[in-house]
Amino acid sequence: MRRVAEYATGGRFGRRRQVVRVDLHGVSVFGPGPGHTLIRWERIEQIAPGDGGAVVVAAATEQLRLPPGAFGLEPAALAAQLTRAGDRDERGVVIDELAGRGH
């Protein structure tokens, strides 16, 4: 079973590369540049589809916007998968499923 699922966007035609990671610790977004934000599973307060097809993962003090189409899923389906991953018993299964869809 995999422990990390990653989805990369951009990096071509002048677009900046961004990597979305779902792992045993939480959900994170890297780049562009030195930026890296991680929201740990135990701190996540809400996961929901947002504007423009993004999925918003929110904690009390931070928020991540996962790009439209991340992991090849519609926003509602990705939000449901991430919500399911909040359950420690389901987390590894969800990560494995997402890893099979990532770029």
56-89 residue pLDDT tens: 999 999 999 999 999 999 999 999 999 999 999 9
DSSP class of residue 12?
Answer: S
The domains of the chain, with CATH numbers, are 4-99 (2.30.29)
Confidence of residue 14 (pLDDT cuts 50, 70, 90): low
* Among candidate residues 11, 15, 16, 5, the one with its CA nearest the CA of residue 70: 5
Q: Which residue in the block uniquely carries the two structure tokens 């590894």? A: 92
Count of CA atoms in the C-beta half-sphere (13 A) of 6: 8
Residue 65 is encoded by which pair of tokens? 């916007």
Residue 17 pLDDT: 79
